[in-house]
Amino acid sequence: MSESSEASKEQPDSVAILELIGFLAPNTRLDVRRTALQYVVSLSGALDGSASRLFMANDCAMGAAVCTLCESTEADRSQTLSALTNFSSGSPEVANFILTRSRCTQLAFDACRSHTMFANFAARLLANLSRHFPDRVNELLEQHEPKALDIIVDLFSTSSEDTTSSIVGYTLVNMSTLSAVRHRLVASSLLNKICPLTLVEEKKEMAADVLRNLAFEDALHPVLLNESDDYLVALVAPLADCSDDLSDEEIEKLPLRLQYYEGTREPSISTRQKLIEALYQLCSTRHSREYLRKKGVYAILRELDRATEDVNEKPPQQTGWIGGVKLLAAQQDHTLHALIGILIRLEDEMAVHPDIESLRSLE
């Protein structure tokens, strides 16, 4: 994440930079410090690599100054967090400095859970840092607050008028790439707070990302796919539509909440693709394949495929049917057809030895 700004085309020389850094001291007169900070924020938004070089130059003099100011003065935290977010956007080196040589990660977390006026900036910084180093962010936050993961999930799942709760979702997505975090999400009640969010407009893609990441953890499949069907419904409901042509027998096999479904299919190809990928990853284990067949998921996927074919027949010149949208549609079709190909077969037809616990072991 990088906040758009217009950085100067000509980078200031080293002497000017050292003078600028001097103005970032916490004891500098407020108006002078604010002017210097505004200039730093502008420089930090450059997308040509100069921002990270500026941060790291002279033994990270600029980086140390901004981090120290962030730690020292709450009044400047909107600007300092904004600058750190920009600096760290494309630079793992900057992210590493912030994580190892400052307490800005912990301050950002505290700002989010306290809903401070600069919480949005804090959430963006956490998203960047966790994208580069999810394991280290998780470790730092756990040391700072043992219930950090619970707090992040609560922030993400709570309805809010501001955008902080949605931005925090990016950090949760990044952390859910870690096996330990996946197990904690499933072992607690946290997953129950995430599942309903696949139907919430501003959070559906991030929720789908988290649920997809969980599907990569084969050991969790028996827990994810249990008789409560919360996880399964979260994956399948956005793929279903009230106009689906299902037989009575097919309806009866579906989870109770999907029988006689009155909702409409998720319009976002990107979100649908994430959910389809999650179902496909679940098929790595025999338990999940058999469970998906038992719950009649194939019928929903068949109807989705038919609906997708209808859309694909639209003329290419139609608005929005270009570039990335078309590529996503092709990816969805490929994964969807592979998934359908698995579910329409009986397990005995899979030619998988019963002793093989996961198809991933064959890769």
**Interacting residues of 290 by C-beta distance below 8 A, sequence separation 6+:** 347
Q: Is the four-CA dihedral 54, 58, 62, 68 of positive or negative sign?
A: positive
CB 20 within 8 A of CB 12: yes
Task: Judge whether 156 lies within some domain.
Answer: no
Q: Measured between alpha carbons, how far is 126 from 23 in angstroms, rounded to an integer?
A: 26
| Residue of 29, 114, 126, 26 whose CA lies nearest to 76 | 26
Asked if residue 240 is part of any domain, the answer here is yes
Band (pLDDT 50/70/90 cuts) for residue 1 is: low
pLDDT band at 288 (very low <50, low <70, confident <90, very high): very high
Specify the amino acid at residue 197. L
51-103 confidence digits (pLDDT tens): 999 999 999 999 999 999 999 999 999 999 999 999 999 999 999 999 999 99
Q: How many domains does the chain have?
A: 1
Helices (H) and strands (E) in the chain, counts: 20, 0
**SS3 for 60?**
helix
Taking 80 as the threshold, does the pLDDT of residue 8 lie above it?
no
Q: What is the dihedral of CA 33, 35, 37, 41, to 10 degrees?
A: 180
Instruction: Report whether pLDDT(319) > 80.
Output: no
Determine the pLDDT at residue 9.
Answer: 45
Q: Is residue 213 situated within a structural domain?
A: yes
Give the Cα separation of 15 and 13 in Å (integer).
6
**Phi/psi at 118 (5° precision):** -110, 20
Q: What is the pLDDT of residue 182?
A: 99
Q: Give the model's pLDDT for residue 325.
A: 60
Confidence of residue 321 (pLDDT cuts 50, 70, 90): very low
Burial class (CB in 10 A: 0-12, 13-18, 19+), 30: exposed
Q: What is the DSSP letter of 28?
A: S
Which band of pLDDT confidence, cut at 50, 70 and 90, is reported for residue 11? low
Q: What tokens were used for 203?
A: 């959070």
282 within 8 A of 221, measured Cβ to Cβ: yes
User: Which tokens sit at 171?
Assistant: 């950090």
CA angle 185–187–193, rounded 5-degree value: 45
3-state SS assignment for residue 358: strand
Q: Quick check: 313 pLDDT over 70?
A: no
Residue 128 lies in a domain: no
69-83 confidence digits (pLDDT tens): 999 999 999 999 999
7 lies in some domain: no
pLDDT tens digits for range 196-247: 999 999 999 999 999 999 999 999 999 999 999 999 999 999 999 999 999 9
Tell me if 81 sits within 8 A of 120, measured CB to CB: no
Q: 259 is in which domain, residue-wise?
A: 204-363
So what's the pLDDT on residue 159? 86
Classify residue 255: in a domain, yes or no: yes
Look at the block and give the residue holding tokens 């949208």: 325
* Average pLDDT estimate for 291-318: 82
Structure tokens at 361: 């072991």
Q: What residues are paired with 285 via a beta bridge?
A: 358
**pLDDT, average across residues 128-150:** 99
pLDDT tops 80 at residue 2: no
Looking at residue 111, what is its pLDDT? 98
8 Å CB contact between 115 and 121: no
**What's the rounded Cα separation, in Å, for the pair 134 and 127?**
9
Residue 111 within any structural domain of the chain: no
